[in-house]
Structure 1
Amino acid sequence: MSDLNRRRFLALSGGAGAALALAACGGTSKAPQAAPAGGNGGASYSGPNVTISFWNGWTGSDGETAQAMVDQFNKANPNVQVKMNVFQWADFFTKLPAAVQSGNGPDVGAMHIDDIPTQAAQQVIVSIEDVAKALGLKESDFAPAVWNGGVYQGTRYGIPIDVHNLGLYYNKTVMEKAGLDPEKPPTTKDEYMSQLETLKSKGIQGSWVSPFQFTGGFQFESLLWQFGGDVFSSDNTSATWNSDAGVQALTWMVDLVKNGYSPKNVGQDADYIALKNGKNVFNWQGIWQVNDVTTLKTYEIGTAQLPKIGSTGGVWGNSHQFVLPRKKDNDANKANASRFFINWFTQQAAAWAKSAKVPARTDLAQSAEFKALTDLQSFAADVQFTHFPPSVAGIGDALAELYTGVQSAVLLKQAPADALTTSANRANKILADNKKKYGA
């Protein structure tokens, strides 16, 4: 399956997929505090031969990269053999809770920041504190939001693997034909609008606005932070995207449509497809398309940090993290071997980065090996401005309302302020219901 389609399924992981997980696992809000027996937390493994299972939703090029890394690990560690199973994310969150409940769950899993709280609350995954301690990991090793994203109710459930964030893709070939400098993508609102005007004078709609979560919803969140707002209140009990900052952000997007810089009713992924065929010039798109654009023959696509349309930096992002599913057999050898595999994989950051990711650890992101991957450097530079979903059980259901509101405004069905207020009110009810369902 292509990376493009893969990301559509990822969208289900925080909302519908989480809901499926809850249905499969039954309703309990008490997060598990004890991990299976695990020896030295994965610092090493010298036990008998074991085979461990590893589940994830990496169906695109990242899955191919992960399998190659697993093969490398298996060759180097004959006493620990890893069998990797890949599912589309929607299926992953259907199968995982049911498998754990029946005692047939995997030994290791990988999921996103916004999936971890719900899975922890439902006792699908267990604490991974011993791995973090054995590896000597600490907050200063990571961007704070990445590190904190693996924590739920004061306990660590995730070991960060990567950061995947939004960036600016721009069609250098079309820019040059329109008389713009292809080596100077816009960095500010004034530069952005000036270049759009130049493109418009040449008959080119240069910044297509997607009404869908991928990637219009992520563009809105980035702009919201750039204008000084936030998605939720500091205690995550209420949606705040309908603030003045949110209205400014969404109005800017809608005005791109109203003023002819973007077509109306842009289809799912049409903004990105148009970038590749020369009809769109600036696309706010995820890092996961970096490898795809390098294969183009007719057009040259560049990548850059997101322009600051507001007064500060703001970038949507997420992170894959290793988790330990709950096990009934409590096999100490498999538990320690699983931790050892996690330890090994997180040290291979440069290899994993080739699937178009920024290493989660700061020192690895600054390594010469990673810096040699030049197409990823603008994304790495934006990690300092990147925001991640909050560590709240069921948060994906509330975020789904945000994306519905953005869609309504971008499709010109509602005014930005009305769309944001309507969606925020719906999200507030979900947040209140989730608090009762999962506890504080």
Structure 2
Amino acid sequence: MKTGWKRLAGGLAAALMTVGLAVPAQAKTQVVWWDFLSGGDGVRMKGMIQAFEKDNPDIEINATTLEWGTPFYTKVQTSAAVGQGPDIMTYHLSRMPLGVSTGTLRPFTDDELKSVGLGQSDYFASDWDAAHVDGKLYGVPLDIHSIVLYYNKDLLKKAGLLGDDGKPKGLNGLDNFNAAVKKLTTGNGTYGLSIHDGAPDGSSAWRIFYTLLAQQGGTFMTDNKVLDGDNLEKAQKSVETMANWVKQGWSPANVSYNSSIALFTSGKAAMHINGVWEVPTMVDLAKQKKLGFDWGVMQIPVIFDHAATWADSHSFAVPNRKGNEVSAEKMKAVMTIISWMNHHSIMWANAGHIPAFKAVTESADFKNMKPNSDYASLAETAVFDPKSGITGVASPAYDTATNFLEPAINGQMDAASAVEQMRDELQNDLQ
């Protein structure tokens, strides 16, 4: 009976073709995708989506890019609340706690992960932990992105701070780091260091501050208490360290994000602290022969007690659409997308990020990718923002960095007052 039906169907298709009528193609599963990826990140992700669709012709991704930060997360929250929004979206792991508290996110099940061969052992411990809230997985990590130290090899070599391996030496320890920055500040308009410390965006100040706090073994939040106990003293020391770089004239004051980069790329700053996402900028400028010097990048030195660096992660999440949940069919396609993106995240590494999927990070292809593999060690010492609705991307914590940390770094407020006001304001937000 089945054989006869197949013959009948085949004959019907042939007859339709004979009279010039096309046989309908198998319907594709349409997946709605939202992201916040612009610039180089956006270009690379669009390329990955195209490559995915080529490998998976039965799935079509309808992608939309929205504005990064608060606008994106507000749009996701309001859309999910009325049963609208995407089937899959990019999401910062640091925003997971807030997304869960507002009922915006749908957790992944163990069976969904197993269906595409994914599990805890595939990811770095810090990344995997940050993806969980109250024991449930709300995001599947794609990368780890952090701040790093960019350096001008020519200037470091001239100052005797470059080893025979072409990498910096003598930067570990606060006294050594300060001595190096001082030595690299030549007095002819060249600074030892450039950081983004100017308003109106305190995100860079927060990342450096949080790194220095973590290197002292400090904890920003403990049992819903902000900078409790000796953590306040450690926070003050972190701010004083940054403020001293500016006060001594080793790093300029009130520098915008773009200007902090320009100081380094023009050769006016020997070192520069910024995110891994600026690696493509340096690579492109070097290829265009617009740098004028040899450069490198490394994990932030151990300035205090142990290696630690602020980090976040782009991940994939699914909205909790009220009354219009993502169907089982769509979830099957969503999991196929997530798995493919992880297995092919070497393409994403070209944006400077460290792949969260360990099989890629440990591959020969990634180990041969320079300079990315030079700072891949930070994945093991990454420290994510506290799991709280007041921290993470575009959060109240970032606002306090703008309002208190930046003025203190630039000498407009003392460090003790800055961290105390930061603590009090955020503690009040938790009430």
TM-score bracket for the superposition, by shorter chain length: 0.7 to 0.9
3-state SS of paired residue (1:206) = strand
Query: How many Å separate the matches in 2 of 1:384 and 1:368?
Result: 18
Compared with structure 1, are the counterparts of its residues 236 and 319 closer, same or farther at alpha carbon in structure 2 (3 Å cutoff)?
Answer: farther
State the SS of the aligned residue for 1:299.
Answer: coil
Instruction: Tell me, in whole angstroms, the C-alpha distance in 1 between the residues paired with 2:283 and 2:296.
Output: 9
Tell me, yes or no, if the aligned pair for 1:219 and 1:316 is still in contact at 8 Å: yes
Alignment match, 1:193: 178
Q: Deviations over 1:300-356 (max 9, x none)?
A: 321012111101112011001110112406533222212221122111121121121
Whole-Å separation in 2 of the counterparts to 1:199 and 1:394: 38
In the alignment, is residue 69 of structure 1 matched against residue 59 of structure 2?
no
**How many angstroms apart in 1 are the aligned matches of 2:186 and 2:346?**
43
Which residue pairs with 2:309 in the alignment? 315
TM-score, normalised by the number of residues in structure 2: 0.83
- Separation of aligned partners in 2, 1:363 and 1:342: 15
Q: Does 1:388 align with 2:384?
A: yes
- Output aligned runs, 1:3-402, within 5 Å: 49-90=28-69, 91-129=71-109, 130-177=111-158, 180-181=161-162, 183-186=166-169, 187-189=171-173, 190-201=175-186, 203=188, 204-212=190-198, 213-233=202-222, 235-240=223-228, 243-296=232-285, 297=289, 298-327=292-321, 328=324, 330-395=326-391, 396-402=395-401
Residue 436 (structure 1) aligns with = none
1:227, 1:248 within 8 Å by CA — same for their partners in 2? Answer: no
Alignment partners' CA distance in 1, 2:158 and 2:203: 28
Structure 1 position 269, deviation (Å): 3.4
The whole-number CA distance in structure 1 between the counterparts of 2:315 and 2:357 is: 12
Distance of 2:238 and 2:412 partners within structure 1:
17
Instruction: Give the residue type in structure 1 aligned to 2:210.
Output: E
With structure 1 as the length reference, what TM-score do the two structures score? 0.81
Distance 2:353 2:40 in 1: 11
1:36 is aligned to none
Structure 2 counterpart of 1:89, which letter?
A: W
Query: Are the equivalent residues in 1 in contact too, given 2:253–2:410 (CA < 8 A)?
Result: yes
SS of residue paired to 1:207: strand
Question: CA separation in 1, counterparts of 2:252 and 2:398?
Answer: 26
CA distance in 1, matches of 2:260, 2:66: 27
Query: Which segment is superposed worse, 200-209 or 267-276?
Result: 200-209
Partner Cα distance (1:181, 1:338) in 2: 47
Question: Any gaps of 5 or more consecutive residues in structure 1?
Answer: 1-46, 433-440
Contact persistence 2:213–2:234 (CA under 8 A): yes
Report the identity percentage: 26
CA distance in 1 between partners of 2:351 and 2:115 (Å):
27
* 2:206–2:398 contact (8 Å) kept in structure 1: no
In the superposition, relative to structure 1, how do residues 95 and 263 fare at CA in structure 2: closer, same or farther (>3 Å)? same
Partner of 2:21: none
Aligned length: 385
- Quote the RMSD (CA, aligned, Å): 2.2
Note closer, same or farther for the CA distance 1:79–1:221 as it changes in structure 2 (3 Å cut): same
Q: Is the 8 A contact 2:156 2:168 kept in 1?
A: no
Cα offsets for 1:202-258 (capped at 9, x unmatched): 53321134325342221111111112212212x244234952222222111111111
In structure 1, how many angstroms separate the alpha carbons of the residues matched to 2:207 and 2:339? 31
Q: Assess, with a 3 A threshold, how the Cα gap between structure 1 residues 244 and 284 changes in structure 2: closer, same or farther.
A: same
